[in-house]
Amino acid sequence: MKVYIDGQYFDEADAKISVFDHGLLYGDGVFEGIRMYHNRIFKLSEHLERLFYSAKAILLDIPLSVDELTNACVETCRANGLRDGYIRLIVTRGRGTLGLDPRRCPKPSVIIIASTIQLYPPAIYETGLSIVTVPTTRNLPNSVNPAIKSLNYLNNILARIEANNAGVEEAILLNSDGFVAECTADNVFVIHKGRLMTPSLSAGALHGITRNTVLECAAALGVPTSEPLLSRYEVYISDEMFLTGTAAEIVPVVKVDGRTIGNGKPGPITQQLIEAFRARTRLDGQVIFP
Ligand SMILES: Cc1ncc(COP(=O)(O)O)c(C=O)c1O
């Protein structure tokens, strides 16, 4: 595997950054997870836009332009001969001193890993996930805002540990008011009486690119959508449920906190949306190999 670091390609074993990089010392940096499908980098421009927004929010100057980052992502896929897979694009604050002041980090670092990813066991996509609500709440918007895709995922990791301890693969995080925010690396959707609902972004969630794509697919299919505040009650009484994320794609949920969702099987609207989403991945995105 060839890894891109600051304009150079390194073999996996030699792809190293400094132990003084504030990305490591403090989780100071931002990232994106991006998929390639059928020789296209799906939604690359949306991911780069979000990367620049995250960086702006933490006053991090990305040392490359959007065009340069686009080329670097394409080149890293080509260097690895990948037409399908997963890109991890990282911008760290860079090498600094042991104090946390980012002014001591003169040069941010850009890292691009092109590989593959599998988040959940494949059978889950057929049978659906069983998940739980966990005690760890989503970050408050006035702390590290959940819209910032930062390198500090400890909030999500704590929730994932709580899910692991409960013997399930995912966790619903509520916000501090008790409304559903999102899962550890996915946005949440429920369907009730034919209406597709996903929590309002103001409940505290990443502005998911898969979430947006699914809302577009629903509109194209004529499925009504809304973005309300969702409590656990609305989740428990829903007919269908699924999670969305670049790595997870669309994963059906069939049980929440011991309550069976719908008839306990992935539902028909979920299936339609999965098909519509798959069709989009064939058409949309930056071509890798001409
Ligand atoms: C916390 C969190 N929420 C939601 C998502 C889903 O976002 P997207 O569909 O843009 O990958 C992710 C993954 O990227 C995530 O890390």
Q: pLDDT (tens digit, 9 = 90+) per residue, 161-174?
A: 999 999 999 999 99
Domain boundary among 72, 89, 115: 115
Segment 256-288, tens digit of pLDDT: 999 999 999 999 999 999 999 999 999 999 999
Indicate if 62 and 158 belong to the same structural domain: no
Q: Per-residue pLDDT averaged across 20-38, rounded?
A: 98
3-state secondary structure of 264: coil
Q: How many domains, the chain?
A: 2
CA of 9 to the centre of ligand 1 (A): 27
First to last CA, the chain: 21
Indicate if 147 and 231 belong to the same structural domain: yes
Indicate if 172 and 78 belong to the same structural domain: no
Cβ of 261 closer than 6 Å to ligand 1, yes or no, is no
Indicate if 129 and 271 belong to the same structural domain: yes
Segment 40-84, tens digit of pLDDT: 999 999 999 999 999 999 999 999 999 999 999 999 999 999 999
Cβ of 208 closer than 6 Å to ligand 1, yes or no, is yes
- With respect to residue 87, please indicate whether it lies within any of the assigned structural domains: yes
- With respect to residue 63, please indicate whether it lies within any of the assigned structural domains: yes
Domain that holds residue 205: 124-282
- With respect to residue 82, please indicate whether it lies within any of the assigned structural domains: yes
- With respect to residue 290, please indicate whether it lies within any of the assigned structural domains: no
Indicate if 111 and 62 belong to the same structural domain: yes
- The distance from CA 274 to its chain's CA centroid, rounded to whole angstroms, is 17
CA of 116 to the centre of ligand 1 (A): 17
Domain of 274, CATH number, reads: 3.20.10.10
Indicate if 152 and 73 belong to the same structural domain: no
**pLDDT surpasses 90 at 121:** no
- With respect to residue 288, please indicate whether it lies within any of the assigned structural domains: no
**Pairing state of beta strands 129-133 and 171-174?**
parallel
Indicate if 63 and 132 belong to the same structural domain: no
Segment 135-181, tens digit of pLDDT: 999 999 999 999 999 999 999 999 999 999 999 999 999 999 999 99
Domain boundary among 70, 94, 115: 115
Cβ of 156 closer than 6 Å to ligand 1, yes or no, is yes
286 sits in the region (left: phi over 0; alpha: psi -120 to 50; else beta) called beta
Q: 14 pLDDT band (50/70/90 cuts)?
A: very high
Look at residue 119 in the predicted model and tell me its pLDDT.
Answer: 86
Q: Per-residue pLDDT averaged across 221-250, rounded?
A: 98
pLDDT > 70 fraction of the chain, expressed in percent and rounded: 100
Q: Is 265 a catalytic residue?
A: no
Indicate if 214 and 278 belong to the same structural domain: yes
